[in-house]
């Protein structure tokens, strides 16, 4: 949810409102109603003769927050202290936030609720779980079970909107492994069978209630994810045989 003021050190998206001789007034896009100021000394490295060579009214750019005065609502900003990588990353993040808001508004309309009601009911939880609402939409569009423990009515509508409007930057595939052992120390043998699984990047495994384990592989390309999943399942199966553990795998999608 939107905050009233940023914190010192934050990287923020701003819109240039008024360019003056010694600086520029801006509005902070992510903090509705909050304004800031970029002093001419913080526009670029070196001497700036004409500030309008660098800034124009209506322009969107990325700044670093130098200081915040909560009592007066003043925010001092710097343009020159943001490198190109930070700028690209922030603009991408901001665009994703705008997309997420539009999708949440669409979802709210379908659920016949207000945007704020949806944020209160599940949006804030998704924000906390994924770090951003858009990341939740990406996950829901990825093709694997989305928040499998959640049974709420909004979930199916959320997944549908995600798949119709979002192209995830990755594919996510997985399934369930059931493991059994008739040995007296069967529990320990099963634990040994799954030891070190999930430490590989892009792989996660979760206990799903005896005797099931849920395994998920995340990759940029489907073929890579498929090959990795097959290899992991084969390794677990082979290790299970050595440990007298029966392993059965089934895909979840």
CATH hierarchy code of domain 85-165 = 1.10.150.190
Question: CATH 3.30.70.1130: which residues of the chain?
Answer: 171-251
Q: What is the pLDDT of residue 198?
A: 59
CATH 3.30.70.1130 fits 171-251, yes or no: yes
Contact between residue 27 and residue 75 where contact means Cβ atoms under 8 Å apart: no
What the block records as the tokens of 76 is: 């001092």
What the block records as the tokens of 132 is: 């951003």
DSSP for 83-107 reads -HHHHHHHHHHHHHHHHHHHHHHHH
Contact between residue 107 and residue 133 where contact means Cβ atoms under 8 Å apart: no
Question: CATH 2.40.50.140: which residues of the chain?
Answer: 11-82
* Residue 66, phi-psi category: left (phi > 0), alpha (psi -120 to 50), beta (remainder): alpha
Q: What is the spatial distance between Cα 183 and Cα 188, in angstroms, rounded to a whole number?
A: 10
* Per-residue tens of pLDDT for the chain, all 253 residues: 345 799 999 999 999 999 999 999 999 999 999 999 999 999 999 899 899 999 999 999 999 999 999 988 889 999 999 999 999 999 999 999 999 999 999 999 999 999 999 999 999 999 988 888 998 998 898 766 788 778 888 999 999 999 999 987 777 788 888 888 888 888 888 887 877 675 677 787 777 777 788 888 888 788 888 999 999 889 888 888 888 888 888 887 5
Question: CATH 1.10.150.190: which residues of the chain?
Answer: 85-165
Q: What is the spatial distance between Cα 5 and Cα 69, in angstroms, rounded to a whole number?
A: 9
Q: What is the pLDDT of residue 253?
A: 56
Residue with tokens 């073929």: 223
Contact between residue 1 and residue 133 where contact means Cβ atoms under 8 Å apart: no
Q: What is the spatial distance between Cα 166 and Cα 136, in angstroms, rounded to a whole number?
A: 10
Q: What is the spatial distance between Cα 30 and Cα 170, in angstroms, rounded to a whole number?
A: 27
Q: What is the pLDDT of residue 80?
A: 96
68 secondary structure, DSSP code: E
What the block records as the tokens of 210 is: 């005896």
What CATH architecture is 11-82? Beta Barrel (2.40)
């Amino acid at each position: 949810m939107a905050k009233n003021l940023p914190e010192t050190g934050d990287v923020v998206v701003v819109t240039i409102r008024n360019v003056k001789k010694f600086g520029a007034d801006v509005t902070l896009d992510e903090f509705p109603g909050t304004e800031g100021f970029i002093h001419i000394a913080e526009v670029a490295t070196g001497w700036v003769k004409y500030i309008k060579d660098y800034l124009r009214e209506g322009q969107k750019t990325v700044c670093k927050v130098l200081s915040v005065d909560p009592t007066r609502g003043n925010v001092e900003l710097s343009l020159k202290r943001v490198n190109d990588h930070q700028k690209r990353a922030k603009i991408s993040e901001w665009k994703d936030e705008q997309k997420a808001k539009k999708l949440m508004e669409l979802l709210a309309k379908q659920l016949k609720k207000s945007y704020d009601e949806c944020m209160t009911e599940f949006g804030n939880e998704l924000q906390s779980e994924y770090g951003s609402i858009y990341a939740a939409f990406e996950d829901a569009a990825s093709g694997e079970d989305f928040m499998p423990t959640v049974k709420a009515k909004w979930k199916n509508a959320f997944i549908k909107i995600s798949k119709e409007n979002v192209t995830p930057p990755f594919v996510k595939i997985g399934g369930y492994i059931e493991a059994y052992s008739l040995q007296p120390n069967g529990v320990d043998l099963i634990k040994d069978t799954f030891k070190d699984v999930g430490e590989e990047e892009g792989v996660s495994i979760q206990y799903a209630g005896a005797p099931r384990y849920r395994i998920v592989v995340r990759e940029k390309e489907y073929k890579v994810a498929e090959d990795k999943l097959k290899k992991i399942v084969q390794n677990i199966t082979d290790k299970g045989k050595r440990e007298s553990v029966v392993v059965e795998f089934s895909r979840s999608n």
